[in-house]
Structure 1
C-alpha cells in the first residue's frame, strides 16, 4: 500500500487545491450532474463549497489523492455559494441546487461534542482500490481528538459501505431521501458509526 500523509486543504498550493476540487467533482459527478452535465460548470460552481480548514487530504508524493470532510455539531465541512451556483447552474437549477445543498450539507448535525462526522469522502480515480481511503480514514481516527466517528453512505454505494465496514463502522440507521430518489439515483442514507478504539 502506498504511504500517504494527511494534511488540511488550507495548507495546500492553489494547484493542489484545484486537484482536490477535481477529485470531489469526479467522485460525485453522478450525484451532481442534475445541476449541470458539464464538469467545467460543476468545478466552477463548487469552487467555494469546500471549507478548506475542515477538508483533510491524503497526499502521495505531494499530489492530492483522496479527501474527507470532517464536520462537528458546530461546523460543517461544506457550504453552498449562491452566486457561484447561479452563475454556473442557471436561474432554475442554481436556486434549486442552493436550497438542496443548504438543507443537506449546512444543517447542524445532531451529534455529541466528542463525535466527528466524515462527509464527502472521495478518492482520485487513478488511485482507487489501493487502500488509500482506508488508510486516510484510519489515520484521521487515530490522530483527531474525538471519541466517536460517524458517516453516512448512499444505499447504492456498496463499495464505500464495505470499506467503512472493514475499518470498524457499523450501520446505526437509515433515512429515506426524497431528493436522492428523484434526482440522485439513491433511496436511502445509511448511517454508520464506530468508536475511536475498537
Structure 2
C-alpha cells in the first residue's frame, strides 16, 4: 500500500514524500520511486504537475540500483521488470502490433525500456510469428507462417523460442516445400 498511500498524501496536499528506488529499504512498505513517478506522470490531471522526474531514466536507474545492491528485479515488477512490456498471448500480440495503446498505459520509451517484446511460444498467434519473421528478413508464404506457428505450438509447455530456433523451424518448413 506504500505507493497508494504516497499518492493519497500528494492528493491531499503533501509537499514532500519519501520514496526509494525499487522500493528497497530496511523493512517492507517503502514506496517505489518509479511507480510513484509514473502514476504522477500518467495522471497529471489528477495530481497536477508535482514532479520534475525524467521518467525516461527510470528503468536504467532501477537496473543500476539492482546491480549495485545485488537485489534482483522481479520480472513482473511494475515499471522496470523485464516482462513489463513482454507478452506471449496471441490476442495481445495482435493488438500491440495494431496499436500499442490497446494494452499499454504508457510506452516503453517513456520509462527508458527497450521496447515491446513479442515472445513466441504455444500461446502466440500467426501475426506475431509473421512479424518476427519479417524483422529477421525471413520470407515465407502465408501458409508457411501457419505451419511454423503449428510447429511452435508443438513445443513443450512453457517453451519460448529465440530467433535462432525460429530460423531453424522456418528453414525446415521451407525445405520440406522445396
Instruction: Specify the TM-score bucket, using the shorter chain as the normaliser.
Output: under 0.3
Alignment TM-score, normalising by the size of structure 2: 0.27
Larger helix proportion, structure 1 or 2? Answer: 2
Larger Rg: 2
Alignment TM-score, normalising by the size of structure 1: 0.25
Larger strand proportion, structure 1 or 2? Answer: 1
By relative contact order (CA 8 Å, sep 6+), the higher-ranking structure is: 1
